[in-house]
Structure 1
């Protein structure tokens, strides 16, 4: 606001200065023109008549062309003064010149010098007033805006009610309330759907798992088909458990042994290898306990392992356990390098990403050179 006030003062000062100079020139030009157009000139003091260009003083003649068209001209003759000259046609095609010496009448420059202090004082007062106004506006707008920022950053804080009496702030606050309500409604709808869908799936899955356990007592003749059925039911149970966890609040006290989970996953999905030459390796300096329920770890890391098995034709898949990370490296085609039409379109990776965000973990996927993918799931220790 201070800059705006200063800019406005400069513009206004410049405008009035130009206006003053232009007004003086118009007045002087009209005076000398009126005198030149009189039937009998010589009635206005200070106007001198010259018949012919040769009659002009040299310091005035050098600023006026001999054949200058009729009209009014402003001439600055240096030390001789400032003149307004009216040119009129004379006898025998010559010109008549009426020179009006306005040196002593020009007052704009002197007035500007006298009023410079007044202009400077006015500018300082305007800047001070704008600073006070800006401070008042900032205090009136800043406090409710700061409370709105604190509310948006705080978890579960009540929305501010004070809008500072500013219509725009009230409109912004209402818009944020409406947006927050829509977001909460969408989140609750998603949680309710995940909860209901998972509960509805758990009953038939429990029946299927019970049937598989009964069949294991007397395995059918088609062992391969039965084994596929058993693994499919197990995978469906893990997927349902992962979806159900999205509708729950994470509990920090739950932990799991990632070494044990990794061994279970290799045993569960090892049959998905495209070739027996693919080595499945676990590298760990010791036990690693992660802040995550074991069922969720099986879903997240199981989906990542299945993805690696699906895109690795040869080489090896290595699971590395660190104190604050679970890392999977493969020698497959590499993340983002699959042939068009051969990409996986399941919910596996999307579910892993959502579960990682839900529990505060960080998921990173990078393509390795010349081939392969490196996946890292990390958490705060």
Structure 2
């Protein structure tokens, strides 16, 4: 869709307005000329009518003083086309005949004065010159309006163009936003807009800085105790443990693994730049995610179906793909008590379908928002919001279908 700049809009608006005013002025000038000419003929006829009435009152023959005016004693003495038109409209006083003749009529106490003004029509004679003059005047008006609009637009929009360039450069390099740039603008509407933008940028920059620093601090502070926990769990695994103790250790390892993945997800989402995309075999990553989430299937009568070709691959960061799968597969394992969970891939579309109770219809439009979860959810309501944010970063389309027979989430990879 082509978008006109403000400068062009102002220019076109001035030209269109001037053209409209010029056309209205030209039409008014032509109408005024014709009206003036008609009034002149009417005035001449009125003067001749007064003179003719004096002659009639004296009983003499009516002799008009102007050569193009003649006296008709009755309607029968008028030209036949005029007689026909008078029968249809007795009040009519001006007649344009088909042969190009033009008449004005003035009724007297006895008879009529008929003025043949065909050769007296000044406006008709000068109409081509008048049209040329009006067109020339319109061209001068349009050129003047265009020049005035161009100069005005340049002067008025110059600070706005400067502000736009500043916004564009800041959008490309938000970390290099110029502080105090709003002081360069006058205290008008654009200046107030610049002040508001500067304040907003400052708040956004501070917020981003705090978020990045928080993510770095959390990542750094949590990795040390996690490393200690991993060492302790490794030692426990090599020691004499009962079957129940082994199960507890496995659960602790799974929880530690999930914490590590959560930290990696937060760090990834906090970065502006994406990791390098590389060809990734999809099936091994799906199998890895299933193994990481398998504890959630313990004691459940669930059949897992994988329909993914061994050769299927995606161009993506492996860690980001694993995070996506862990959230989707983990949810399917969590909220399916029995039945079938099917994971398939075809035509760049990855589907994770379960046979759980489904998602409440009222929540489906909001389920990808942070903190939204169903009544039976045991999580924090951030899993699908992380999926949405990862999909947005990697330009992956996502679609959810859910009813009481289960839930299916489809990811369409570019």
Q: TM class, shorter-chain normalised?
A: 0.5 to 0.7
Task: Find the aligned partners of 1:213 and 1:321 in 2 and give their Cα distance.
Answer: 40
1:74 aligns with 2:94: yes
- Residue in structure 1 matching 2:120, options 102, 105, 114: 105
Task: Find the aligned partners of 1:260 and 1:243 in 2 and give their Cα distance.
Answer: 24
- Residue in structure 2 matching 1:243, options 243, 248, 266: 266
Kindly provide the CA deviation profile for residues 151-198 of structure 1, in whole angstroms up to 9, marking residues without a partner as x: 265234656889999967656655544554454455445546656777
Task: Find the aligned partners of 1:66 and 1:316 in 2 and give their Cα distance.
Answer: 92
- Residue in structure 2 matching 1:332, options 354, 357, 361: 354
Q: Hey, what does 1:60 align to over in structure 2?
A: 82
Q: Hey, what does 2:395 align to over in structure 1?
A: 362
Task: Find the aligned partners of 2:308 and 2:97 in 1 and give their Cα distance.
Answer: 99
- Residue in structure 1 matching 2:301, options 275, 280, 284: 275
Q: Is the 8 A contact 1:329 1:374 kept in 2?
A: yes
Task: Find the aligned partners of 1:35 and 1:165 in 2 and give their Cα distance.
Answer: 71
Shift of 1:48: 3.8
Q: Hey, what does 2:103 align to over in structure 1?
A: 83
Q: Hey, what does 1:119 align to over in structure 2?
A: 134
Residue 98 of structure 1 aligns to a residue in which SS? strand
Kindly provide the CA deviation profile for residues 246-272 of structure 1, in whole angstroms up to 9, marking residues without a partner as x: 334557479999777544422221233
1:151 aligns with 2:186: no
Task: Find the aligned partners of 1:341 and 1:59 in 2 and give their Cα distance.
Answer: 82
Q: Hey, what does 1:23 align to over in structure 2?
A: 36
Task: Find the aligned partners of 1:86 and 1:244 in 2 and give their Cα distance.
Answer: 99
Kindly provide the CA deviation profile for residues 176-225 of structure 1, in whole angstroms up to 9, marking residues without a partner as x: 44554454455445546656777787798789878877876656958767
Q: Is the 8 A contact 1:288 1:321 kept in 2?
A: no
Evaluate the alpha carbon distance shift between residue 15 and residue 209 of structure 1 in structure 2; reply closer, same or farther with a 3 A threshold: farther
Aligned residue pairs total: 362
Given the two structures, how large is their TM-score scaled by the length of structure 1?
0.67
Q: Is the 8 A contact 2:391 2:398 kept in 1?
A: no
CA RMSD after TM alignment: 5.1
1:40 aligns with 2:54: yes
Q: Is the 8 A contact 1:36 1:86 kept in 2?
A: yes
Task: Find the aligned partners of 2:185 and 2:50 in 1 and give their Cα distance.
Answer: 69
Structure 2 gaps of 5+ residues are: 1-11, 56-61, 368-372, 374-380
Task: Find the aligned partners of 1:26 and 1:333 in 2 and give their Cα distance.
Answer: 93
Task: Find the aligned partners of 2:170 and 2:188 in 1 and give their Cα distance.
Answer: 20
Task: Find the aligned partners of 1:289 and 1:73 in 2 and give their Cα distance.
Answer: 89
- Residue in structure 2 matching 1:351, options 359, 362, 386: 386
Residue 87 of structure 2 aligns to a residue in which SS? coil
Task: Find the aligned partners of 2:232 and 2:65 in 1 and give their Cα distance.
Answer: 125
Task: Find the aligned partners of 2:145 and 2:122 in 1 and give their Cα distance.
Answer: 33
Task: Find the aligned partners of 2:36 and 2:26 in 1 and give their Cα distance.
Answer: 15
Q: Is the 8 A contact 1:331 1:373 kept in 2?
A: yes
Task: Find the aligned partners of 2:277 and 2:115 in 1 and give their Cα distance.
Answer: 102
Q: Is the 8 A contact 1:266 1:280 kept in 2?
A: no
- Residue in structure 1 matching 2:22, options 9, 20, 37: 9
Which structure carries more helix by proportion? 2
Q: How does 1:196-215 map to 2 (within 5 A)?
A: none
Range 31-40 or range 55-64, more displaced: 31-40
Q: How does 1:163-312 map to 2 (within 5 A)?
A: 173-174=194-195, 176-188=197-209, 190-191=211-212, 218=241, 221=244, 231-232=254-255, 234-248=257-271, 250=273, 252=275, 262-273=286-297, 274-279=300-305, 284-285=310-311, 291=317, 294=319, 298-310=322-334
Q: Is the 8 A contact 2:182 2:198 kept in 1?
A: no
Shift of 1:17: 0.8
Structure 1 gaps of 5+ residues are: none
Residue 54 of structure 2 aligns to a residue in which SS? coil
Residue 278 of structure 1 aligns to a residue in which SS? strand
